[in-house]
Amino acid sequence: MSSLLAPPASCRGILPPAPPRRPAPGALTARAARSCYRFRTDDDGVVDVAVVGKDGEGYTVGVEVPPRPGARRHREGGLVLRAADSGEAVPLLSPGHGACLAAELSVGASRAPFNLSFLLTDGEGAEIRTHRRTAFRVPIGVGRGSPAPLGLSLSEDGAANFALYSKSAKAVVLCLYDRVGGGGGEPAFEMELDPYVNRTGNVWHVSLENVAGYASYGFRCGLFGTGHPLLDPYAKVIGDFVAANSVHEGGATAPSMSCLGSLASPPSYNWGRDKRPCLPLEKLVVYRANVALFTKDKSSGLPDNVAGAFSGMAAKIQHFRSLGVNAVLLEPVFPFDQAKGPYFPYHFFSPMNSYSSEGRSASAITAMKDMVKAMHKNGIEVLLEVVFTHTAEGEAECEMISIRGIDNSSYYISDEIAGCESSILNCNGPVTQKLILDSLRHWVLDFHVDGFCFINAPFLVRGPRGEYLSRPPLLESIAFDPVLSKTKIIADPWSPLDISNVQFPFPHWKRWAEMNTRFSIDVRKFLKGEALIGDLATRLCGSGDLFASRGPAFSFNYVSRNSGLTLVDLVSFSNEDIASESSWNCGEEGPSENNAVLETRLRQIRNFIFILFVSLGIPVLNMGDECGHSSAGSTSYKDRAPLNWKGLKTTFVKEVTGFISFLAALRSRRGDIFQRREFLKLENINWHGSDLSEPGWEDPTSKFLCMHVIAENDGNTSDSIRGDLYICFNANVESVSATLPDPAEGSVWLRLVDTSLALPGFFGTKSNPKVQQVFGCSSYEVKAHSCVLFESTRDLS
Listing DSSP states for 252-309 in one string gives: EEEEEEE--EESSPPPP---TT-------GGG--EEEE-HHHHH-SGGG---TTTTTS
For residue 90, pLDDT over 50 is answered with yes
Please name the residues in contact with 432: beta carbons below 8 A apart, sequence gap of 6 or more: 388, 410, 411, 425, 426
pLDDT value of position 766:
59
Q: State pLDDT tens for residues 387-408.
A: 999 999 988 777 889 999 999 9
Query: 141-176 burial by CB neighbour count: b if 16+ within 10 A, else e?
Result: bbbbbebeebbbbeeeeeebbbbbbbeebebbbbbb
pLDDT, tens only, 466-517: 888 999 999 999 999 999 999 999 999 999 988 888 787 889 999 999 999 9
- Average pLDDT (302-309) is 96
Choice among 61-70, 243-252, 573-582 with the minimum mean pLDDT: 243-252
Query: For the chain, how are helix, strand and coil distributed in percent, rounded to 5?
Result: 25, 25, 50
pLDDT in tens, 166-176: 999 989 999 99
Comparison of pLDDT for 571 and 38, the residue scoring more: 571
How do beta strands 618-622 and 286-289 pair? parallel
Report whether pLDDT(313) > 50.
yes
**How far, in Å, CA of 759 to CA of 773, rounded?**
18
Tell how strand 173-177 and strand 189-192 pair up.
antiparallel
What does the buried/exposed string (b/e) look like for 76-89 if buried means 16 or more CB atoms within 10 Å of the residue's CB? eebbbbbbbeeeee
The pLDDT of residue 685 is above 80: yes
- Per-residue pLDDT, 236: 97
Start-to-end Cα distance in the chain = 95
pLDDT value at residue 31: 37
| pLDDT band per the 50, 70, 90 thresholds, residue 797 | low
Render pLDDT for 355-364 as a digit per residue (tens, 0 to 9): 999 999 999 9
Q: How confident is the model at residue 182 (pLDDT cuts 50, 70, 90)?
A: low
**For residues 129-157, average pLDDT:** 91
User: Is 524 in contact with 570 (CB distance < 8 Å)?
Assistant: yes
In angstroms, the CA 56 to CA 448 distance is 39
Q: What are phi and psi of 90, to 5 degrees?
A: -130, 120
Of 623, 609, 616, 624, nearest to 659 by C-alpha is: 609
φ/ψ of residue 286, rounded to 5: -105, 140
pLDDT tens column, 602-644 = 999 999 999 999 999 999 999 999 999 999 999 988 889 999 9
CB 702 within 8 A of CB 695: yes
User: For residue 60, is pLDDT > 90?
Assistant: no
Q: Is the pTM of this model over 0.85?
A: yes
- Residue 299, pLDDT > 50, answer yes
Per-residue pLDDT at 26 exceeds 60:
no
Q: Radius of gyration of the chain from Cα atoms?
A: 34
Q: Which residue has the higher pLDDT, 53 or 379?
A: 379
Q: What angle do CA 519, 523, 524 make, to 5 degrees?
A: 115
